[in-house]
Structure 1
Amino acid sequence: MPIAVIAADITTLAADAIVNAANEALLGGGGVDGAIHRAAGPALLAACRALPEVAPGVRCPTGEARITPGFALPARWVIHTVGPVWHGGGRDEAALLADCHRNALRLARGHGLRRIAFPAISCGVYGYPAPLAAGVALGTLREVLERDPAFDIVLCCYSEPMRAVFQAALTSA
């Protein structure tokens, strides 16, 4: 199955799409979200603002995904998804994290995109334990690839320690 794990800055990847670990407002934030907004330029914020709110201040509920052009990024598209905040595992965090990956790939498929780069969704300020998140991400991605093997997926971790966690999960399964 075509899954690679790398340590890199996701904003530098020339992919069909990169996935943004966003917040529900889709108006930028910290971590990978802030980095993607800075690298893409102000047109990304304008495109996100143009997406309709489904509730006050919410353009993308947790587990769902939205797509915008990549603007100044090497990637043609940005798929925004909102990962769950970790509360100990008792609030459907695993199911919501799986939905992030599944729904991002559903959007990619609908737009004819094949090379997709994912960050370590929810592993930053949202506090999801990296080994658990890696297991959910890889399990979900493998499940999707069994049905649609044409995807070329990169798990792009910002640091070498995070890459090692995701690589261990990839090789152990």
Structure 2
Amino acid sequence: MSSAAATQSLADIPTLTQVYRSAGRRQAASSTGDFPPSAAINARVGLVNGDITKLCVDALVNAANTSLSGGGGVDGAMHRAAGPGLLAECRLLRGCPTGEARITRGYRLPAKHVIHTAGPIYDHIDPQRSERLLRSCYEKSLELADACGVKSLAFSSISTGVYGYPSMDAAKVACETVRKYLDRGSSALERVVFVTFEQKGVAAYAEMLP
């Protein structure tokens, strides 16, 4: 269970605008090649290297399994921090198909809600199918957040652990999908945060973010 002293408020999470400014970087075009720089989007997107279970946001996106029964990695950490109430509510949902998303309360987490999404196991024979499913995880999570009135949302890195999705490829999908969603102009989300435990993960997202 996280203590209040260990939590990180939204105000402490740098936006891309602040990241670029502190690094003395200009906002260059994204490595995805599809998006011009956008000051408006960069002010709504954050990037942090740390523990997602400590973030004081409206909702955390959990990289769950299809049974929603908890597991290792971020999923296990989320359940441990939230306490047994999270698993009890997850059991009532009767699972989550790959590429879909479900929402629960946050229980002992500093976040109000947890959005659980089941990412794909990376398929080296059919990577396009893996990409479609991973993209759907982000889309469905964003749509569910908007439908539930969530204003601030933090994503863990979906499918890059034991599911084997290459980190750079996964970061590209995540950044493209979030950018396209926010570019529609209909979302009420005020802040979307990408969270990684490892410094190399920060580099992967920073390379892909416009």
RMSD: 1.1
In the alignment, does 2:202 pair up with 1:166?
no
SS in structure 2 at match of 1:27: coil
Compared with structure 1, are the counterparts of its residues 68 and 10 closer, same or farther at alpha carbon in structure 2 (3 Å cutoff)? Answer: same
Deviations 1:74-97 (A, max 9, x none): 000000001111111615111111
Q: Please list, as runs of the form range in 1=range in 2, the aligned pairs for 1:51-62 lying within 5 A after superposition.
A: 51=93, 53=94, 59-62=95-98
Matching residue within 165, 170, 192 for 1:153: 192
Post-superposition CA distance 1:34-63 (Å, at most 9, x none)? 000000000000000111x3xxxxx10100
Whole-Å separation in 1 of the counterparts to 2:187 and 2:61: 19
Matched, 1:4 2:46: yes
- Rounded to whole Å, the distance in 2 between the matches of 1:103 and 1:62 is 11
1:109 maps to amino acid? D
Gaps of 5+ in 2: 1-40
Amino acid at match of 1:155: F
Secondary structure at the residue paired with 1:73? coil
AA aligned to 1:134 is: A
Higher Rg of the two aligned structures: 2
Deviation for aligned residue 1:5: 1.4
Cα distance in 2, alignment partners of residues 5 and 15 from structure 1: 13
Determine what percentage of the aligned residue pairs are the same residue.
Answer: 48
Unaligned runs of 5+ in 1: 54-58
**Using CA pairs below 8 Å that are at least 6 residues apart, which structure has the higher relative contact order?**
1
- Residue 112 (structure 2) aligns with: 76
Q: Deviations over 1:128-157 (max 9, x none)?
A: 001000011111001110123532100000
> What do the CA deviations read for 1:2-33 (whole angstroms, capped 9, x no partner)?
21111010000000000000000001000000
How many angstroms apart in 2 are the aligned matches of 1:117 and 1:86?
Answer: 22
TM-score by length of 1: 0.92
**Would you say the 8 A contact 2:146–2:188 is kept in 1?**
no
Alignment-mate amino acid for residue 90 of structure 1? D
1:3 maps to a residue whose letter is V
Structure 2-normalised TM-score? 0.76
